[in-house]
Structures are given as C-alpha cells and as structure tokens.
Structure 1
Amino acid sequence: MSIRIGVTGWGDHASIYPDQTKSDEKLEVYGSHFPVVEVDTAFYAIQSVSRYEKWVNQTPESFRFVIKAFQQMTGHDRTSKSVQEAKDLVKQYEESIQPVIEAGKLQNILFQFPPWFNVKKENIKKLRLIKEWLEEYPLALEFRNRSWFTDEYKDQTLQFMKEHEWIHTICDEPQAGESSVPIVEEPTHPTQTLVRFHGRNVHGWNKNGRKDWRKVRFLYRYNEEELQEWKERVERLKKQTPEITLLFNNNSGGDAADNAKQMQELLGIEYKDLNPRQMDFFNF
C-alpha cells in the first residue's frame, strides 16, 4: 500500500460514527474507514502496554499507527534533563509501544518539536541522539520553527535529514510567522514521507492572547481547489518516495475525516482490507 490516508486521533470524528457508538468501540469503527491513524494521546502521556495491545487487536492486519513522541522527549515541558535521564525516558517510551512493533503495525514515530526548537547546535545534537537511541525504528520529524527552512539553512536541514534518515513531515499549515513552516515538498527518507494537514486558519494558529486558542487553532475545512493542489503534490511525491502517509489534523470543527475522504476520492484510492462495517454484514 503506497498511500495511506487517515486522521489524527480517532475520538472526535462524528461524521464516521453511528449514533450511540461507545468510546471504546470507536477505533474499531475508524478502522473500517481508514488504514492509518495518529496516536496523539502518546504525546500527553506514555501509554500502557495493555492499551497498545488493545488497539492492535481492534484494527485489521494491514492497519498502521503513527505514534507521537511523548512531550517530555520533544522538550514541550521545558524542563532540562541530563543525557542519561533523556535516554531512560526514551527507553521507557520504546518499551510501551512494543505491541505495535511486534504486530508489524508501526508506520513511524512522530517527533513534533515545539515552536522554540530552532536551528542551533544543541538541538541538532538532540536530533542525533534520538536517532542513535531509536535507530531501528522509522522516525518522522516535524518542525514548528521557521528557522530550519530559511534560505540560509533549508538545504543543510534537508541534507541532515537525508544523512540520518529522518522521515520528512511535510506540513500544510497557516503561514503565521516564526512558529509555522512553509510547505517543503522534498522527501528525505529512502522509503517514507509523512504529510500532516493542520488547516490554514492564520488568525487561530498563534495564541494572540486568546484563552480558547487550542479550540480554534485547527478550525478549517479544505476546499476542493486546495485538495486538488495536494493531489498534484502527492502525484509528484509518488515518483520520489515508495510510501506516503497523509494525516488530516484540521478537526476543531470536525472537518478532518471528511477532508480525508475527499482526498481519498481525488486520488482514486479504495482500501480493500479494512475492518468490516456493520452495514456490510447484510450484503452477501
């Protein structure tokens, strides 16, 4: 399967869930619509092995997980750690995701760094260490600081990612200053590229003094023209990278699942090996 399309998380996509769907049934239903999902809860806490085992069992054999790195591994908690403390934390995280790895369902581990993670030697050293500690796994890298892709550093950033086989997370997001990155359409990994769609809500992207900024940040619905632009980009990327994962994160207003379905239709993709849907039980 060369192109997998899904959304970030599986809890809030009302358009794909029948009424009265229980929360612990949602992943199973989700797996009847999409072949991949991002585990965003892993960002907020290291999940238990038993939870990953449950998720593995609720999804079809061909299903894949993009698992976000824990926020203390990416520096979102703003606490300083010794190299040994950081290494121990990575080890704890690695042990937690083993059920997904053993089932062959890991698409990649996503390291999304905070807006203050800019180009400097200390941060490049951190990227080297993470890759060293998790060298056997596919690791995706997403920046939230524009400095990595300025004219001065863009080529060096991409070359560094290629040398260390970081999967480039290409972002479609509002162009709202230093804390956003442009669309950089270039794969850096031999086999994988990840694309994340955050919407284009410029006014909601940064806090701007708003208390409810988290609720509106991803409030956006991609229109047909914007998705058509991405169809053309994906067609170009297909010629450069064997596997592409497209994840829609524009779900403040519940638009992600619908946009993901639209993209699937635009690309002419029909997934065959998903979970059965209840409505199909009567179609013999």
Structure 2
Amino acid sequence: MIVVGLAGWGDHDSLYVPGTAAKDKLRAYGSHFSIVELDSSFYAVQPPDRMARYAAETPDGFGFVVKPYQAITGHLRGKSYYDNDDDMYRAFRESLDPVMSAGKLIAALFQYPPWFDCTKDNVRLLRETKKRMEGFPCALEFRHQSWFAPEFREKTLAFMRDEDWIHSVCDEPQAGDGSIPIILEATTPEYTIVRMHGRNVGGWNQNGAPNWREVRYLYDYSEDELLEWKDRISRLASQSAKVGIIFNNNSGGHAAGNAKQLMRMLGLPVYELPVDNPPEQLDLFNL
C-alpha cells in the first residue's frame, strides 16, 4: 500500500474552501490525504486531549507521523520545558497514547540534526531512545552524511533493522555533510517513510538566516523529478507492506500540488474541491 500526504495541514490553502476555520482544516485535509506529519509536537509536546481530538477528526485508515519535542532529538538551543529526560519522554509517550490507541500512529519520527554524526556515543543514544519508546513505532532520519558513508552504510542499515527503526528515506539537496543521499532500503517489513524536502541546494545550509526554514523548503518538483520517484517507490513497496510519502516543500505552497501530481502518476485516487458552476451565459439567439 502507498499513501501520500503533507507536513502539517494548516498552511495548504489550495485544499480548503475559502474561509475554512483553522479548527476545521484537519477534517477537510482528511478528504484529500490519508497521512500527515505533525510538526507542532516538535515545538511543544501536545496535550493528550488534543491528540485524541486529532484522531477523532480523521477518517478510518488515516495515519499520523509525529515529530518528538526538539529537546529529545538534540535540536533545542534554549531551556527545555522538562527538568529531566524521564519526564520529557513520559510526556511524549502520553501524548502519543490516544493516537496509538485509535490505531492511527504510523510512527514517532526521530529526525536528528546535521551535527548528529556517526559515533559510538550517538549509536548508544539511539539504543537508549528506542528503549524509552518501547511499544511505539519509531522512524529514524539522519541529516549527517557519515551514517551512509561507504564504510558505515551497511552497518547503519543493519543497526536500524536490529533495533526496529522504520527508515525515513529522504529526497533532499546534496549539499555537503548536512545532507544524506537517497538510500532505497526498507529497514522494517511493515512500513517505510519517504520525506520529500525539495532540492534547494543554495538554501539548504543557510540556517543562520532569520528565514532559513522558508528558504530551505522553497522548491517546486518538476514532472521529471517526480517520475524518478515512481520506480523508487515501487522498489520500496516491494520491501515493506506500506510506504508513506510526505511532502515537506511547504514554503512556496508547492507541497499539495506536488503530492497530488505524484498520486496521479502512481494511479492513486485524487480528491479535488468541487468547482462552482459558472454563471449561465445568455443565449442572444434563443430569446
């Protein structure tokens, strides 16, 4: 099974009837896509009652990919909301419980920063993290090339398989150590995630700029670039029962259109908003 969706649901205006309230957008999003990445959890662990509401507002068969709070993956630069790791992980697990109970949790997505390189200490941290998340499906995404350097590539994949990490395969610019190549290998038989970050090489490493997030994900995939992924997705689908594809190129409003373009290429049904009938033209010769 192949499903396609977006990172977040609030910023994709083309999916909604004008005037749709923010509180109604997730329900409407579920008519277009059956998977979504929850990013708000990166900035603060979401309350369980809110997560329960998200689960209730989405149709059967819908799935969430949930990013952990940024202190968990080492992104946080300031002070954490939590006094210790035990409390932090406990809060995150409690947040996931309602979605997990509803059968709608695809994975908690542990995306590590560009400075998280392939070292013994970091491998040890990944093992500890997986133990803390026991009982929850977890996906792993790297942002440092060392994990897939020739001398470590097979060891990294073997480690992920042994530890039951879902592989988050990335399409992203090849822009030095802070980006990873496309590795078309499933690491669990149940699920593989693909994240489409765009290919903005010039903007990828500008994380010192005030608007670096907007610049990094500013990209519109061409038809040829999406066609490249048709065969790649088929290859991943032969290795795992489900493949979930997330478009993260949100900055310019291209993600939803690219996602639906790929769905058509894959032969998946695409829902479009109904178009109002145009006003009837006056027939001057049939009065």
Q: TM-score, normalised by structure 2?
A: 0.91
More moved, 27-36 vs 211-220: 211-220
Residue of structure 2 in register with 1:229 after alignment: 228
Tell me if 1:167 matches 2:166: yes
1:80 is displaced (CA, Å) by 10
Partners in 2 of 1:114 and 1:193 — Cα distance? 20
1:190 is displaced (CA, Å) by 2.1
Residue of structure 2 in register with 1:196 after alignment: 195
Tell me if 1:147 matches 2:149: no
CA offset digits 1:105-146 (Å, max 9, x no partner) = 101110000111101111111100111121211100000111
1:78 is displaced (CA, Å) by 4.9
Residues 118/78 of structure 1: CA separation in 2 closer, same or farther (3 Å cut): farther
Partners in 1 of 2:74 and 2:207 — Cα distance? 22
CA offset digits 1:257-284 (Å, max 9, x no partner) = 111101111000127xx9xx9859xxxx
The answer on whether the counterparts of 2:207 and 2:213 sit within 8 Å (CA) in structure 1 is no
CA offset digits 1:199-247 (Å, max 9, x no partner) = 0000111117533222111000111111111001011111111110000
Task: State the superposition RMSD in angstroms.
Answer: 2.0
Matches within 5 A, 1:132-281: 132-207=131-206, 210-270=209-269, 279=274
The answer on whether the counterparts of 2:184 and 2:235 sit within 8 Å (CA) in structure 1 is no
Partners in 2 of 1:140 and 1:208 — Cα distance? 24
Partners in 1 of 2:130 and 2:220 — Cα distance? 35
**What is the SS of the residue equivalent to 2:140?**
strand
Equivalent position amino acid for 1:67 in 2: V
Matches within 5 A, 1:42-191: 42-78=41-77, 85-191=84-190
1:85 is displaced (CA, Å) by 2.6
Residues 188/86 of structure 1: CA separation in 2 closer, same or farther (3 Å cut): same
The answer on whether the counterparts of 2:66 and 2:108 sit within 8 Å (CA) in structure 1 is yes
Partners in 2 of 1:153 and 1:115 — Cα distance? 17
Partners in 2 of 1:50 and 1:279 — Cα distance? 33
Equivalent position amino acid for 2:142 in 1: F
1:91 is displaced (CA, Å) by 1.3
Equivalences, count:
273
Partners in 2 of 1:208 and 1:77 — Cα distance? 14
Q: TM-score, normalised by structure 1?
A: 0.92
**What is the SS of the residue equivalent to 1:193?**
strand
The answer on whether the counterparts of 2:16 and 2:273 sit within 8 Å (CA) in structure 1 is no
**What is the SS of the residue equivalent to 2:243?**
strand
How many percent identity over aligned positions?
Answer: 49
The answer on whether the counterparts of 1:165 and 1:190 sit within 8 Å (CA) in structure 2 is no
The answer on whether the counterparts of 2:193 and 2:244 sit within 8 Å (CA) in structure 1 is yes
Residue of structure 1 in register with 2:284 after alignment: none
Equivalent position amino acid for 1:217 in 2: R
More moved, 110-119 vs 132-141: 132-141
The answer on whether the counterparts of 1:220 and 1:253 sit within 8 Å (CA) in structure 2 is yes
Partners in 2 of 1:17 and 1:179 — Cα distance? 35
Partners in 2 of 1:238 and 1:208 — Cα distance? 34
Equivalent position amino acid for 2:234 in 1: E
Partners in 2 of 1:138 and 1:193 — Cα distance? 11
Q: Structure 1: which 5+ residue stretches go unaligned?
A: none
Greater length-normalized contact order (CA 8 Å, ≥ 6 residues apart) = 1
Equivalent position amino acid for 1:160 in 2: F
Partners in 1 of 2:85 and 2:93 — Cα distance? 12
Residues 102/270 of structure 1: CA separation in 2 closer, same or farther (3 Å cut): same
The answer on whether the counterparts of 2:30 and 2:59 sit within 8 Å (CA) in structure 1 is yes
Residue of structure 2 in register with 1:38 after alignment: 37
The answer on whether the counterparts of 1:196 and 1:246 sit within 8 Å (CA) in structure 2 is yes
CA offset digits 1:29-57 (Å, max 9, x no partner) = 10110001000101110011121121112
